[in-house]
Homo-oligomer: A and B are copies of this chain.
Amino acid sequence: MPYINLRVAGELNREQKQQIVAEFTQTMVRVANKPAEYVIVTIDEAPLAGWGWGGQLLDEAD
């Protein structure tokens, strides 16, 4: 029943999402003995203009 939320700045393509879901799930199976069919992963792709870091929006950092 592990629930994993991944939030990234910018976008991921489909192959990246598939690979991330597969690998996170395998980690939970191998390391924490969770059945794969209970592992849920959600991915949020957030715009750079919606992230701040060090007091600035990501898209104004240089």
Q: Which one of B18, B42, B52 contacts A24 once the chains associate, using CB atoms below 8 Å?
A: B52
Q: Is the CB of A56 within 8 A of B21?
A: yes
Assign chain A's interface to a size class.
35 or more
How many copies of this chain? Answer: 6
User: Are B3 and A57 neighbours in the complex by a CB distance under 8 Å?
Assistant: no
How many whole Å from A52's CB to the nearest CB in chain B?
3
Are B3 and A42 in contact (CB-based, < 8 A)?
yes
Contact partner of A60 among B1, B3, B18, B57, CB < 8 A? B18
Question: Whole-angstrom distance between the alpha carbons of A20 and B27 in the complex?
Answer: 7
Binary B-proximity of A6-49 (CB < 8 A = 1, otherwise 0):
11110010101111111111111001101011011111111001
